[in-house]
Amino acid sequence: MTPAHHPAEDLWLDFAAAQVDFATRTLLESHLAYCKSCRTLAADAAAAGALTLREDAPSEAPSSLLAGILARLKTPEQPRVGSEALPLPRALWSLLPDFSAATWRGALTPGFRFLQVLQPGGSGLFLVHMKAGRAFPRHDHTGLERSLILAGGLSTEDGVMEAGDFEQAEPGHVHGPVALPDEDCWLLASLEGGIVFQGWRGMLQRIAGQ
Ligand SMILES: [Zn+2]
């Protein structure tokens, strides 16, 4: 199925120019595994960037951005956390970061768990698992949030998101996603700030000083 929600075009220009951080690059590369039209955009952006950079040496080959991505697809290893193999699409195995040293964490709601991918600086990157039909409490963001659905889907105030869909939520955007009822939802999310819960969970969060 072709994704319905795509990264903005200027993000592909930043991607091609290596102007995005680790978390954003991982999200964008993962979207490419699902989306033919964005593969074309990314390749065009990379080629345009290569021409700009190489005006002095026009005989050089254009950027091999996509060739590098496709080469890595040839040697996949299924991502694991400890002894647990993650049920993620095979096309993403070699694109995703190393989760092996990460540990699952819970939240204030059953059927929801996440792990933080370790990285030096920049925004945090999280792998999130929601059981089918489970809701994540309504929350606000203190920074930019970008997410990519890897499997299953979510229903939010903004509509339904399914595998391959990319979403960017600006700071201050309040939402409470619910996993679709027939399949567990797996997603990658990057956060530049923290999240702030609404309602009683928000009160607990403020009391706990988190
Ligand atoms: Zn796309």
- Cα 182 to ligand 1 centre (Å): 24
Is the pLDDT confidence value at 7 over 50?
yes
Residue 210's CB is within 10 A of a number of other CB atoms, namely: 9
Spell out the SS3 assignment of 40-53: HHHHHHHHHHHHHH
In the structure encoding, which two tokens stand for residue 58, read together?
């026009």
Is the pLDDT confidence value at 4 over 80?
yes
Are the CB atoms for 113 and 145 separated by under 8 Å?
A: no
- Cα 108 to ligand 1 centre (Å): 33
Least confident span in 47-51, 136-140, 177-181 = 47-51
- State the average pLDDT over residues 16-24: 88
Q: What is the per-residue pLDDT for 176?
A: 82
Residue 67's CB is within 10 A of a number of other CB atoms, namely: 12
Any idea which residue has 């995005």 for tokens? 20
Phi, psi of 203 (to 5 degrees): -65, -45
What does DSSP say about strands 178-179 and 153-156: parallel, antiparallel, or unpaired?
antiparallel
| Model pLDDT for residues 54-102, shown as the tens digit of each residue | 554 444 444 556 666 666 556 668 888 888 889 888 888 888 888 888 8
> Residues with Cβ < 8 Å from 73, sequence gap 6 or more?
91, 94, 95
Any idea which residue has 């819970």 for tokens? 106
- What are the percentages of helix, strand and coil residues in the chain, rounded to 5? 30, 25, 45
Comparing 54 with 7, which gets the higher pLDDT? 7
Biggest distance spanned by C-alpha atoms of the chain: 63
Query: Where do the H-state alpha helices sit in 54-168?
Result: 65-72
Q: What is the per-residue pLDDT for 31?
A: 95
Closest to 20 measured CA to CA, from 42, 48, 35: 42
- Cα 6 to ligand 1 centre (Å): 4
- Cα 187 to ligand 1 centre (Å): 16
Q: What angle do CA 97, 126, 109 make, to 5 degrees?
A: 145
Q: What is the three-class DSSP state of 166? A: strand
Are the CB atoms for 10 and 172 separated by under 8 Å?
A: no
- Cα 4 to ligand 1 centre (Å): 7
Instruction: Give the global pTM.
Output: 0.79
pLDDT, the chain, mean? 81
- Cα 32 to ligand 1 centre (Å): 7
pLDDT band at 106 (very low <50, low <70, confident <90, very high): confident
- Cα 164 to ligand 1 centre (Å): 8
Is the pLDDT confidence value at 175 over 70?
yes
The C-alpha atoms of residue 5 and residue 115 are separated, in whole angstroms, by 24
Instruction: Specify the fold of 80-208.
Output: Jelly Rolls (2.60.120)
Are the CB atoms for 175 and 156 separated by under 8 Å?
A: yes
Domain definitions of the chain by residue range: 9-72, 80-208
Q: What is the per-residue pLDDT for 51?
A: 58
Residues measured by CB to lie within 5 Å of ligand 1, the ion = 6, 35, 38
Any idea which residue has 């496709």 for tokens? 70
Any idea which residue has 């403020």 for tokens? 206
- Cα 24 to ligand 1 centre (Å): 14
- State the average pLDDT over residues 189-208: 67
pLDDT band at 209 (very low <50, low <70, confident <90, very high): low
